[in-house]
Amino acid sequence: MEKREYTALQLTQCLAKTYTSENNIKCAGRTVLEHCRIVGEIAHSLIQRHPDWLKFLFPSGSELIAAAHDIGKVSPTFQEKIYRNINDYSKNPFPELKNINPDIERNWGGHAGVSQLSVKFCSAGNYIPEILGQHHGYSPNVSQYYATDEVFGDKPWQRRREELLVELKKILKCDWPKVCDPLHARILAGLTTVADWIGSGSQFDNPTQEWSKSIESAIDAAGFIKPKLRKHLNFYEIFGFEHRISQDQLIQSCITPGIYILEAPMGIGKTEAAFYSAYKLMSTGKATGIYFALPTQLTSNKIHERMNLFLEKILETDCCHRNAFLLHSNAWLQNTEIGEEGQPGGSWFQSSKRGILAPFGVGTVDQALMAVMNVKHGFVRTFGLAGKVVILDEVHSYDAYTGTILNTLVEALAALHCTVIILSATLTKQRRRELFIKQSSFGTDQLSNDYPLISALPMNENLREIPVNISENEEVALKLCQVDEQAIQEALSKAESGQYVLWIENTVNEAQSTYKLLASRSNGLNVSCGLLHSRFLKQDRENLELFWISLFGKDSKNTRGSKGYILVGTQVVEQSIDIDADFIITRMCPTDMLLQRLGRLWRHKETARAGSAIREAWILAPTLNDTKKKPEHDFGKTALVYSPYVLYRSLEVWSQVHSISLPSCIRSLIEETYEERAETGKMLGFKNELNKYKEKLQRFALVGISRGGTTLSENQASTRYSEQDSVEVLLIRSCHLHKKGADLILLDGKQLHLPKNSKILKKHEWRKLAIILQSNTVKVVDYLAPKEQPRQDLFWLEDYLYLGNKDFSESLLRVAEVRDSDELGVFSEDYELTYNSTLGYQARKRDKKNE
């Protein structure tokens, strides 16, 4: 076959975008040169908004990397693809694009792959080609290609791309910067992608309009505005009460960027101490914002409220972040715009992700951990965290799976001049040493045995360990119970006497089953039962939280003793939320989690309790002798959530005690559970299995920009021991499709109209629809989700919800109608799927023998 002779379009003819006119006509948008210049200028302005002490991350030429992100659009396949979308192009096609097939772009990851190859051909330096290749989040598959290959237009098109680079260097007055290491590359990759998102926003759509005056307003609209702080506020002025000595010790220690660990019992005000430390650092110009990372999405809702109250106190009344940026609020999503990826239908139109870019963010620890993982847009998170106070709440010794990534995160944050504040009730000395290991050299035997304890490692200083003053110990009575029926009777008896009972299970299915038993047996008694777990629609979950956590919380107006309550929950009730129970029943779990759960018992001294209440907890667990033979069997479904080896070691410790003193017993219980020891037989096998998980995560925590490695989708990037691929499921009552769009009825009976063309809506209307839809989704593990539908069948949703991308192994969004019987209107061979606002999402294994 004779080789084709290529000729390239002129740069002025190469388009980066199309533009929809007011008459709904698709026409030529910005050129590649113009769009690249816009993104470069935005990157330059973003850099200028960083404080001087953080600008070492953005050397001269960083804006050139951002500007060069789309040079791969100067290629025959991309230009043919974009011109095909322009009205009337077929009547006058370019001869340079004759017989070009745009569909083959998927073979090399589209124009981002061409950008990577083009700058590599020009010897741009270490890491820069990979930064450009990943600006859409994934590593393109270009290992077998060269920039001058025929599919990219041969030498003529590569010369045109080089002309573009020369022009950008001239306009921006800079050359390529030196990129020092993989972490530095991640920061610049994040800058590049965020600048591209902003530069792709609606302010720059119309090619006939002057764009330079929109740069600063577009960055403002994306939320990158320096907060206005009220200075010199004391602790009382912010929180309404005087600080404890233990809180003041952390505040006095945390006066410069570094790593700080506060180990202290539950309920002493660790959160307020961390908040005030962050405020002081921001007030003195040593931090740019706050990111508060929590174990689960459910626990983050209450922290959002506390963060909002905190912001109302510390921010000036005219600061935009005081209102529009009150996090987890729908107003925040409705009033910010960060380009195509951050608009409805984009993967970053979620407060859980966007919070990491805002000056003040609350989210899950998973979002922070992804900042050091080779996961889609992980580097955007790295960029978002640089220079902030990052508060990591409820860090445990058990979570070795997440812990291996957490070590890498802490090391990276220290290098990014962050202040890392780690809050924990339950760390071993070994786990504490691992968190410091890259920053300081010392052995476990050199660490203090004191508890509570502050471990402070300010930047460029030595480790200091500061014992913390605490109040008196509290005695907790314990009982190990092997029979669930006894626990059911005890819970009902306690509640009938007016007590507030908390029952914690380790899986959603077990929590649902326990709740149904208790709700049925309490019928006719002066007792109410409730259920909290992660598989509720977001709107249902928030309503349940509002009722139950307020009822069990510090500010409850109810008088205990007049009526009893039983709240059944999963791990979501053990962390970061203010629940005060009179009596606790918990399924066996690792020692650190057990101590967390006991921290919900008699949490507030001022609570007026029923006269029958005593400080007591029951632990549902098999006998120690049984579990040594078959722990994976005797621990039941719990052994699928937690390591059987750690469960056995924990039970071994707790079988020896009938009461404990808190907090004085915490250190010894934790150390005894996790103390290294030789094993034989079955325990050796389970120990080896746990160690393999740790090794897997050490390999998984890929800090650098990937060089040939596969970038994982977020649903594949499990950051917890028990987590599997998860998917979002939209649950509705009905859907009617017609020419003008879709009419939905939601589970609460509300009607929703989704116009086929979302552009007819005002921006706030469009975003409001997307927010409502998001609140009607639930996240479930893949194998329990409804059957996946072809993506083209969900066309009516693509302007409002992110559907996922199968080309990058992302799980697609699922949609299911819920019938009046609660059954989902989809068939699953293995499970009966149902949903209601009381029990949440249920997946019951089918009994195929009786079918």
* Tens-digit pLDDT profile for residues 480-501: 999 999 999 999 999 999 999 9
Mutual orientation of helices 681-700 and 644-654 as an angle, nearest 10°? 120
345 and 211 both lie in a single domain: no
Residue 43 sits in a domain of what CATH number? 1.10.3210.30
Q: What is the model's pLDDT at position 787?
A: 87
Residue 448 has pLDDT above 50, yes or no: yes
Collect all residues with Cβ–Cβ distance below 8 Å to 399 and sequence separation of at least 6.
406, 720, 721
Collect all residues with Cβ–Cβ distance below 8 Å to 50 and sequence separation of at least 6.
57, 58, 288, 386, 387
Residue 709 has pLDDT above 90, yes or no: no
Could you report the per-residue pLDDT of 577-607, keeping only the tens digit for each?
A: 778 999 999 999 999 899 989 989 998 888 8
Could you report the per-residue pLDDT of 279-307, keeping only the tens digit for each?
A: 999 999 999 999 998 876 655 566 777 88
Question: What does the block give as tokens for 772?
Answer: 């409502």
Percent of the chain's residues with pLDDT above 90 = 52
Could you report the per-residue pLDDT of 247-274, keeping only the tens digit for each?
A: 888 899 999 999 999 998 877 788 899 9
Q: What is the model's pLDDT at position 708?
A: 53
505 and 414 both lie in a single domain: no
Domain assignment present for residue 604? The answer is yes
Q: How many Cβ atoms from other residues are within 10 Å of residue 72's Cβ?
A: 30
Q: What is the model's pLDDT at position 777?
A: 93
Q: What angle do CA 182, 184, 188 make, to 5 degrees?
A: 115
Residue 356 has pLDDT above 50, yes or no: yes
Whose structure tokens read 């026409």?
27
Instruction: From 330, 182, 131, 199, select the one nearest 774 (Cα to Cα).
Output: 330
Q: What is the model's pLDDT at position 171?
A: 97
Residue 9 has pLDDT above 90, yes or no: yes
As beta bridge partners, residue 261 has 422, 455
Could you tell me the residue range of the domain that residue 375 belongs to? 235-467
Q: Is 51 left (phi over 0), alpha (psi -120 to 50) or beta?
A: beta
Q: How many Cβ atoms from other residues are within 10 Å of residue 619's Cβ?
A: 22
587 and 495 both lie in a single domain: yes
| 1 pLDDT tier (thresholds 50, 70, 90) | very low
Q: Per the structure, how many domains does the chain have?
A: 4
418 and 511 both lie in a single domain: no
Could you report the per-residue pLDDT of 174-215, keeping only the tens digit for each?
A: 999 999 999 999 999 999 999 999 999 888 999 999 999 999
Domain assignment present for residue 341? The answer is yes
Q: What is the model's pLDDT at position 581?
A: 94
175 and 279 both lie in a single domain: no
Q: Which residue has the higher pLDDT, 434 or 441?
A: 434
Domain assignment present for residue 767? The answer is yes
198 and 263 both lie in a single domain: no
Could you report the per-residue pLDDT of 366-382, keeping only the tens digit for each?
A: 888 889 888 889 999 99
Q: Which residue has the higher pLDDT, 97 or 345?
A: 97
Q: Return mean pLDDT, the chain.
A: 87
Read off the pLDDT of each residue in 153-169 and give the average, rounded to a whole number: 96
Q: What is the model's pLDDT at position 301?
A: 60
Residue 400 has pLDDT above 60, yes or no: no
Residue 539 has pLDDT above 80, yes or no: yes
53 and 128 both lie in a single domain: yes
459 and 355 both lie in a single domain: yes
| 398 pLDDT tier (thresholds 50, 70, 90) | low
Q: What is the model's pLDDT at position 700?
A: 65
Backbone angles phi and psi of 284, in degrees to 5: -95, 10
Residue 119 has pLDDT above 60, yes or no: yes
Whose structure tokens read 């290629």?
75
One-letter amino acid at 765 equals E
Contact 653, 672 (CB under 8 A): yes
Residue 440 sits in a domain of what CATH number? 3.40.50.300
Collect all residues with Cβ–Cβ distance below 8 Å to 123 and sequence separation of at least 6.
none
Q: Exposure string (b/e) for 563-596, b if CB count within 10 Å is 16 or more?
A: bbbbbbbbbbbbbbbbbbbbbbbbbbbbbbbbbb
| 719 pLDDT tier (thresholds 50, 70, 90) | low
Measured over the CA atoms of residue 601, residue 606, residue 609 and residue 613, the dihedral's sign is positive
Q: What is the model's pLDDT at position 94?
A: 87
Residue 82 has pLDDT above 90, yes or no: yes
Instruction: From 726, 708, 706, 705, select the one nearest 717 (Cα to Cα).
Output: 726
Read off the pLDDT of each residue in 512-531 and give the average, rounded to a whole number: 95
Domain assignment present for residue 57? The answer is yes
Q: What is the model's pLDDT at position 325?
A: 46
Contact 779, 726 (CB under 8 A): yes
Q: What is the model's pLDDT at position 509?
A: 93
Question: How many Å from the N-terminal Cα to the C-terminal Cα in the chain?
Answer: 61
Domain assignment present for residue 19? The answer is yes
Domain assignment present for residue 713? The answer is no
Could you report the per-residue pLDDT of 305-342, keeping only the tens digit for each?
A: 788 889 989 998 887 765 434 444 555 566 677 877 77
Mutual orientation of helices 666-674 and 429-436 as an angle, nearest 10°? 80
44 and 141 both lie in a single domain: yes
Could you report the per-residue pLDDT of 633-686, keeping only the tens digit for each?
A: 889 999 888 889 999 999 999 999 999 998 889 999 999 999 989 988 888 988
Contact 89, 83 (CB under 8 A): yes
Instruction: From 589, 618, 588, select the one nearest 601 (Cα to Cα).
Output: 618
Domain assignment present for residue 229? The answer is no
Domain boundary among 178, 199, 221: 221
| 716 pLDDT tier (thresholds 50, 70, 90) | low
Domain boundary among 221, 244, 263: 221
CA 619/CA 479 separation, integer angstroms: 6
Judging by DSSP bridges, how do beta strands 583-587 and 360-364 pair with one another? unpaired
150 and 247 both lie in a single domain: no
Cis before 93? omega within 30:
no
Domain assignment present for residue 676? The answer is no
Instruction: From 54, 47, 56, select the one nearest 191 (Cα to Cα).
Output: 47
421 and 556 both lie in a single domain: no
Domain boundary among 163, 191, 221: 221
Backbone angles phi and psi of 716, in degrees to 5: -90, -20
CA 601/CA 309 separation, integer angstroms: 26
Cis before 663? omega within 30:
yes
Read off the pLDDT of each residue in 712-732 and give the average, rounded to a whole number: 71
Read off the pLDDT of each residue in 29-36 and give the average, rounded to a whole number: 96
Could you report the per-residue pLDDT of 733-770, keeping only the tens digit for each?
A: 999 999 999 999 999 999 999 999 888 888 888 988 99
Residue 401 has pLDDT above 60, yes or no: no
Percent of the chain's residues with pLDDT above 70 = 90
Read off the pLDDT of each residue in 434-460 and give the average, rounded to a whole number: 79
436 and 546 both lie in a single domain: no
Backbone angles phi and psi of 281, in degrees to 5: -65, -40
Instruction: From 279, 356, 266, select the one nearest 310 (Cα to Cα).
Output: 279
Q: Which residue has the higher pLDDT, 478 or 139?
A: 478
